[in-house]
Structure 1
């Protein structure tokens, strides 16, 4: 069996960061199945760390084991009562996103919450604005919840996080604004909810100089679009 040299755990790296590295490694290798050895090598984590993360991901349905020692990403949240599959956008949801883009002149992204042991987010689909959009939020990317407005609105409805008072304010407002996904962009996000459970979010992304003064005008149409998408998902459960 081939052996791979692995880098030591990076100083200050959190458990969620290591899980992101494993999922990111699998995504970067493309569709299909991948061996555990290949995932270990690409993630640069120890074999034992990768195995622990893979077991959690298997248990929650985030990845699928395909035969002996081979794994594939599976963005289906199985075995969670009441879960809604938001792996792809319906034609009606795409139309909502297109209308929002035409109204606001910004990129609109649909995100799914991956409610596994270490909750994550993934971009499902985007409707790019006239100035384009950063690849950091392109469809298929998997990101921690701690990095941007999408993660904050999901965390606010999970009832956890490092700053409960701040997240309570996000929940009360119904949206969040952060710099990102790059330093010259802003992101405004509102949650997609099934009851009180966050299943994802919609976000508006634009260059800071183009949207900073317009954020108040983004909020109402963004929240209206979220309500429309969430209601449609409920009808198709």
Structure 2
């Protein structure tokens, strides 16, 4: 079975927009796991516009499933990961001002850098994953860095699937097959949703984990809003 790791960045965004501690990020993480999620993902950025570095530390005490920290391995991020020692660190090459992750690593160009960073994490017992585009040479390059897994960047698949183009899954299938042959675990994430996740899962061999945040939180708001409105109306009668 493919594990679901819930990215709770958007919960932090909502909290930060008002100040205070509503919604309570730690409570949400606990509840999401209680509801059955097999992991919690966070992606702290240098400006701390959603997940704060202290959130990442605080979550250590409440994540009882798998804890996945994503981010660009700048020195501050590396220090944070080594301090918190999550189950998995996912390396993402996003720029400081990126709204969201928008590209995978060039594992050939950045091979030496990735080897250095990954070896440090692995010395500390932290599973490593590299965010990658669906490119066979990039997957081969990921193997040479010493990474344990890849995370397939699925935005292009999601965009094409929404247009009815199911053939967009093919490069992801080929990359997953190659990763399996090379002994790399396969994760995936970015724009996966209730609309496309079943098709993706059924076609990707050996898919170990998906990390879903924006879509899952957005869907949760909409699918739950009727119940909440009804509850308010009942209290106002």
TM-score using structure 1 length: 0.28
Hey, which of these two has a bigger chunk of helix by percent?
2
TM-score using structure 2 length: 0.28
Hey, which of these two has a bigger chunk of strand by percent?
1
